[in-house]
Amino acid sequence: MRVTTNLIFNQSELSMSKANERYLKVQEKIAEQSDIVRPSDDPNGAGQLLRYDADTKLLEQYEENMTLATNALEYESVALQSMNTTLDEINRRMIQSQNGANSQIDLDTLAGEMENLLASVADLMNSQDSNGKYIFAGTNANSPAFVKDSNGFYQYTGNEAQKSAQIGDGVSIATNDSGKKVFQDAWTRNTFSVTGGAANFSSRVSDQGAYDSFLDSRFINPSLGVTPSPNDFQLATIAPDQFEFRDSSGAVLASGTVQQGEPVTFNGMEFTLTGPIGSTANFSFDQPARDNVINQIQSAIDALRDPSLTPQQKNEARLDAFTSIENTQTNIATASSSVGARINTIDNRTEYSASKKIFNQLAQENVGGLDVFKASTELQLSESALQVSQLLFQRISSLSLFNSL
């Protein structure tokens, strides 16, 4: 076989190229700090690395969602806490207004203070986050949650939907609460109405707790409405000094003695006879209603400012406000508790996500991690092989038959 100069040259060049390729591969592994730079290095290991990498990226997306969700919930939490504090301040001034020593000027002053605080409540109900989105407007977050209508009453204009954020595989969490649920749907004070014979009686709810219990005992769910017949009652006065409370069937529910000007009570309801013995009064439960606390407090403020109203009428307006404040604060407490529970859930998921990312890192290191000592040795060997190949190529490239002549 004849060995030509070209064959020797090509073989030497090929050896040098392979040595250089091996050297560059080792350098690349060291630079990437991984034993698997290309899928061809370890097809099975490369697939595992891709799966771990994809899982880590998904966890990072969940972490971003959790950060945004936490921010939204913390905004809501601050708004709820501020509103609760402001309602406490209004409640305190409403109690001060009950002092019989107050003049109309004193009542006007307290009404002005409460109105300023009420403006803060309205602002908090229309709270916005850092992006200018209305927190309590449901998914209609580009518009205010509560708007004042032509009659001066605040109405809820958002929706009842909740926004949610996915924080894990199959795990999502609500990032807001509807203002309708927290504020608009607060129960107002339960009352009753005299439908006949009112001219001969004055009436009021004297014991709200007893009246509410009576209402609840007759209707499992007052929010579904009251029907006429079982809710109609009659107070009859009988000569010479007797009274009877009767239901719609005529059955006597309570009885006793009565005097003109002296009150008689029945399940938290108080009646005072102002007309003659023999007078009757027909009365019934008022339909339970819901309204936001701003409207109820504003009505009480207007009543305090009205010098034409009697002390009892002013007090009825106060009681409406007290009930609305109490029920709204109950809703706020429920919402705050829910927000806190959701933040805790996010915190737990954040810890889980961080732990899983560490696990993925360790798994990737086990599959494709670089053995530094082995790589350093291999780099030295490949560098030496490359140097030898280069030297050999130099020697061979200088060979020629003319050198032997």
Q: What is the pLDDT of residues 295-345, one digit of tens each?
A: 999 999 999 999 999 999 999 999 999 999 999 999 999 999 999 999 999
Q: What is the bridge-based pairing of β-strands 171-174 and 164-168?
A: antiparallel
Instruction: Report the C-alpha gap between 107 and 96 in whole angstroms.
Output: 9
Domains, the chain, ranges and CATH? Answer: 55-186+321-355 (1.20.1330.10), 192-288 (2.60.40)
Give the pLDDT mean for 111-120: 97
Instruction: Report the C-alpha gap between 304 and 329 in whole angstroms.
Output: 23
Q: What is the bridge-based pairing of β-strands 280-285 and 232-238?
A: antiparallel
Whether the pLDDT of residue 235 is over 60: the answer is yes
Q: Which residues pair with 397 in a beta bridge?
A: none
Whether the pLDDT of residue 399 is over 70: the answer is no
pLDDT confidence of 31, banded at 50, 70, 90?
low
Q: Structure pTM?
A: 0.78
Tokens of 3: 């060995």
Q: What is the bridge-based pairing of β-strands 232-238 and 201-205?
A: unpaired
pLDDT digits (tens, 9 = 90+) for 53-94: 788 899 999 999 999 999 999 999 999 999 999 999 999 999
Whether the pLDDT of residue 15 is over 70: the answer is no
Taking a C-beta distance cutoff of 8 angstroms, is the pair 235, 202 a contact? no
Whether the pLDDT of residue 382 is over 80: the answer is no
> What does the pLDDT read at residue 1?
47
> What does the pLDDT read at residue 304?
97
Residue 311: φ, ψ to 5°: -55, -35
Convert 81-113 to b/e letters by CB count within 10 Å (16 or more is b): eebbebbeebbebbeebeeeeeeeeebeebbeb
Local structure of 80: helix, strand or coil: helix
Residue 218: φ, ψ to 5°: -95, -20
Tokens of 199: 């001219």
Instruction: Report the C-alpha gap between 73 and 83 in whole angstroms.
Output: 15
Whether the pLDDT of residue 294 is over 90: the answer is yes
For the CA atoms of 271, 277, 279, 283, the dihedral, rounded to the nearest 10 degrees, stands at 20
Instruction: Report the C-alpha gap between 147 and 234 in whole angstroms.
Output: 42
pLDDT confidence of 146, banded at 50, 70, 90?
very high
pLDDT confidence of 200, banded at 50, 70, 90?
very high
> What does the pLDDT read at residue 400?
55
Amino acid sitting at position 141: A
Tokens of 314: 């002013």
pLDDT confidence of 288, banded at 50, 70, 90?
confident
